[in-house]
Amino acid sequence: MHPELAPRQADCLLFDWDGTLVDTQHANYQAMAGALAEEAVELEQEWFDAHTGLSSGDAIKTLAEERDLRLSRPVEEIVARRDELFLEKAHTVRPHTEVLKVVNAMRRQVPMAVASGGSRRIIEVTLRDQPFRDFFDAFVTRDDVKCGKPAPDIFLRAAEVVGAEPARCTVYEDSDEGIAAAHAAGMTVIDVRPFTGRPRP
């Protein structure tokens, strides 16, 4: 694994899902743009890329507030439609190579969990085609907590599930919101963007 991605003195590793463990950027954008197109809303790639740390629901709410949109359906229904569109492409998603090296190297060395602002159902379906599908001790998603990133809830819950002290956890993230959440949880964080091809904003 790359030296800058190596965890140091961590009792637990927590991995974000979208953009960190797996390259879902294109599939996620297509799904969100497709769901919003049904509302006659055009979603620009640039806007989507700048807000990938938000859950789908929070992203739609943010977009609606920014543009003063009147949506014809509840946000929950638009998210459900986005999920349907994503699942049609879930089998095309591949892991990020450099982060996969960390997972492979640290397997069975320390507890590892996925801590994602995404949907559990989406992750479970996408996981079926991943080479690391049996490597994690826990999966914590937006469905398991009250507040998504940048609140620390997801990371704190993941640490609790695997029995680790937050201060002894290292988080792998690819978004400003996720990094803020990890810091708010009192955890060490490694920004994977230099190793996944996604530029920092």
Residue 92: Cβ within 10 Å count: 12
What pLDDT is recorded for position 88? 95
What radius of gyration do the chain's Cα atoms show?
A: 16
Which helix (H) or strand (E) is 182 found in, with range? helix 176-184
| pLDDT string in tens for the chain (201-residue length) | 899 999 988 999 999 999 999 999 899 999 999 999 999 999 999 999 888 878 899 999 999 999 999 999 999 999 999 999 999 999 999 999 999 999 999 999 999 999 999 889 999 999 999 999 999 999 999 999 999 899 999 999 999 999 999 999 999 999 999 999 999 999 999 999 999 976 555
Token pair of 188, please? Answer: 């060490």
| Closest listed residue to residue 81, CA positions, set 108, 56, 52, 54 | 56
Sequence ranges of the domains in the chain: 3-24+93-196, 25-90
The CATH fold of domain 3-24+93-196: Rossmann fold (3.40.50)
Q: Look at residue 200 in the predicted model and tell me its pLDDT.
A: 52
pLDDT of residue 107: 93
Of 40, 18, 12, 60, the residue nearest 186 (C-alpha): 12
- For residues 60 and 52, give the distance between their C-alpha atoms in angstroms, rounded to a whole number: 11
Could you tell me which residues come within 8 angstroms of residue 144 by beta carbon, excluding any fewer than 6 positions away? Answer: 120, 154, 157
In our burial notation (b when 16+ CB lie closer than 10 A, e otherwise), range 98-117 reads bbbbbbeebeeebbbbbbbb
Give yes or no for a contact between 117 and 141, defined as CB atoms under 8 angstroms apart.
Answer: yes
What pLDDT score does 60 carry? 96
**AA identity, residue 118:** G
Confidence (pLDDT) at 52? 82
